[in-house]
A and B are shown apart, each in its own frame.
Chain A
Amino acid sequence: MDSVIVTGSGTGLGKETSLYLAQRGFRVYAAVLTGEQAETVAGAARERGLSNVQTPIMDITDPASVRSCVDEVVRDTGGVYGLVNNAGIGLRGFFEDLAESEIRRLFDVNIFGTMAVTRAVLPHMRAARRGRIVIVTSIGGRIGSLGVSTYCATKFAQEGFGECLYQELLPFGVYVSLVEPAIVKTERWGIHRGVAQGAENPDSPYYRWFRREEALADRLANSAPTRPAHVARAIHRALTAARPRLRYMVGRRAKLVYLLRRYLPDRLFETLYFGGVVRYVTRSS
């Protein structure tokens, strides 16, 4: 049974993916941040009658924690077949309202954390001459969006990282895939979406626009047809296909917008889509 590490398994997408993969026969290491999350995930696994889910605690921003978790998997199973880089945080607010410390924290998790876990598993995959690295990015990694400038920057960076890594690892039989979901409605959306402190300040010159943007995001999330299971299915494909794709886009809306971006002339797309968003958010109401 091949082992797969799924980071950020304590909530939403990660939890769903861990269970989905376990049901399909992987030995899953659902890495979580706290003991409480570990119990929740273990409980959910028991409920579904799954005995192949471990819930190690790992903080991807702490190299020692990453190393000890990967070592544990290697000790138990003799290697790591798959890594699903799912852990990530958000940061919402117009750029001038974001504090440098908030942006640093975002990069620590989404970029440097992803890189740290990837770095820790790669020697094992190269030694086995097989392996799969999946990075869960976002449609925000293909198209920038107002109100989430630095979040999009981390997602774009993950895309660039993934493209390079794909090329670097192909000779070693290790495949890299990027899974790009549209907005998915998860429990996280309601509880903690990562709004920057400064964005809540009514004196900000962007305050009114930010509120409108948030209302729009809420509407999109609530009406989103994409479910965590759809993302889990794409991840499963990336892990099991004989020749996995570099990119899996999940969600019809995301695909449509991306198609427009690809095939419309740049100017037209800028005016229609970006211009449309700006006009919507700034129109006086």
Chain B
Amino acid sequence: MSRGRPDSGPFRPSIPEEYGRDLPGRGRSVLVTGASAGIGLETSLHLARKGFHVYATMRDLERGAALEAEAKNAGLPLCLLRVDVTEEETIRAAVQGIVETRGPLYGVVNNAGAIVRGFFEDLEEEEIRRIFDTNFFGTLAVTRAALPGMRAAGRGRIVMIGSAGGRFGMAGATAYCATKFALAGFSESLAQEVAPFGIRVVLIEPGMIQTELFGRNLGVARNARNAESPYADLFEDLLTLSLERSRQTSLKTRDVAEAVARALLSARPPMRLMVGQTPRLVFRLKRYLPEESFQRVFTWAFYRKLRSVRQRRRLSVK
């Protein structure tokens, strides 16, 4: 395994050219963003296992050790590349490097993303802009770089990792949900624009995942825990609740990786693919209950849950 560095000398991908020919992925090239951890890491491994040539990209190659080690253990060829989705230059270099040496990209998995937790009034504009830069504008930039090659080839797959938070809003995650809703609207529209070229756009919408952005990256907004905020108590309750839920959830990164593989391999993948039983159920309620009733019940249940968390917190302090 080598680390391709298109910015330093000629780019030589380390994946053997014949790898995967006899597997479902048939050795086609797929670029994955945000591959250093979580969904991105799992997806990169899973796609390599399926016989794709995986270009696992991340902002900081130093953080690629975990992925490298796992790929090595499993005997899977992978190529790590540095891509910061907010720096167009790095995207262009990576895509060009792959296209020049191995031909057009078959797929792109737009996974790089961040979260910022906090009630809306506690978020600074700069924090909101930053999360839009990564989750939304970053995805657009990678998509823009990949499309011309796919059009020329007359085929391709653009996979977006959205979120159940792009299907229903949740207090305390305003900015995050806004980016994921935006991604959903963009995907639906783009899917229609590029379908005539044989390109499919699939939005994967996972619910809360076991590792999800919790280990390293709580993503708490600067002012969210400020004692003077009118939302301070609510936010502490919400944080406790979210941590509890992230431990209870049965949804694994592997489930998302499998959905991505389906989006890449299926002849006619759906435009939107929800992953996880709980979000699917909640969305079904939102869809088939009268919408206003759903919103009221959903909000009522949310605050009821927060109250019970607060009581438990008080007890545990005593």
Interface residues of A (CB under 8 A from B): 63, 94-96, 100, 103-104, 107, 111-112, 115-116, 118-119, 122-123, 126, 140-141, 143-150, 152-168, 170-172, 205-206, 209, 245-247, 262, 266-267, 270, 274, 277-278, 282
Contact = CB atoms under 8 A, between A and B. Distances in A.
Interface residues of B, number: 59
Given A144-B186, A171-B303, A161 B270 contact: no
Interface string B144-182: 100110010000000000000110111111100111111
A148 B189 contact: yes
18 contacts: A95-B190, A95-B193, A111-B182, A112-B129, A144-B184, A148-B189, A153-B185, A159-B181, A160-B182, A161-B181, A164-B171, A164-B174, A167-B302, A168-B231, A171-B303, A247-B291, A262-B287, A270-B271
B119 interface: yes
Describe B's contact surface by its main secondary structure: helix
A122 B174 CA distance: 15
Interface of B: 119-121, 125, 128-129, 132, 136-137, 140-141, 143-144, 147-148, 151, 165-166, 168-174, 177-193, 195-196, 230-231, 234, 270-272, 287-288, 291-292, 295, 298-299, 302-303
Contact of A152 (B148, B173, B189, B230): B189
Nearest to B147: A96
B113 to A, nearest CB: 15
Contact of B125 (A115, A145, A150): A115
B170 A146 contact: no
Contacts of A155: 185
A154 B270 CA distance: 23
A96 B144 contact: yes
A164 B120 contact: yes
B96 to A, nearest CB: 17
Given A170-B299, A246-B292, A266-B271, 4 more contacts: A144-B189, A161-B178, A167-B169, A167-B171
B174 A161 contact: yes
Contacts of B230: 126, 172
Contact of B182 (A115, A157, A270, A274): A157
A167 B170 contact: yes
Contacts of B165: 160
Given A152-B186, A163-B295, A246-B295, A144 B191 contact: yes
A163 B168 contact: yes
A149 B139 CA distance: 13
A206 B199 CA distance: 14
A62 to B, nearest CB: 12
Nearest to B173: A164
Please list the 3 inter-chain residue pairs (A to B) with the smallest Cβ-Cβ separation, ordered nearest first. A144-B188, A163-B169, A156-B185
Q: At the interface, is chain A mostly helix, strand, loop or mixed?
A: helix
A157 B178 CA distance: 4
Contacts of A161: 120, 169, 174, 177-178, 181
Nearest to A94: B193
Contact of B119 (A168, A209, A282): A168
Contacts of A158: 178
Given A140-B185, A166-B169, A112 B180 contact: no
Contacts of B166: 156, 160
B191 A274 contact: yes
A118 to B, nearest CB: 8
Nearest to B230: A126
A155 B186 CA distance: 10
Given A115-B128, A153-B136, A266-B271, A166 B193 contact: no
Contacts of A145: 188-189, 192
A163 B136 CA distance: 19
Contacts of A277: 192
B129 A157 contact: no
Contacts of B137: 100, 103-104
A82 to B, nearest CB: 18
A61 to B, nearest CB: 11
B170 A164 contact: yes
A100 B140 CA distance: 9
B295 A166 contact: yes
Nearest to A115: B128
B189 A146 contact: yes
Nearest to A159: B181
Contact of A147 (B171, B173, B185, B193): B193
B106 to A, nearest CB: 19
B120 A165 contact: yes
B190 A149 contact: yes
A274 B271 contact: yes
A235 B166 CA distance: 25
Contacts of A122: 120-121
B75 to A, nearest CB: 38
A282 B172 CA distance: 43
Nearest to A171: B303
A153 B125 CA distance: 19
A165 B271 CA distance: 27
A116 B272 CA distance: 31
Contacts of A206: 193
A212 B127 CA distance: 40
A63 B231 CA distance: 23
Nearest to A63: B125
B140 A103 contact: yes
Contacts of B178: 111, 157-158, 160-161, 164
A158 B303 CA distance: 23
A107 B185 CA distance: 14
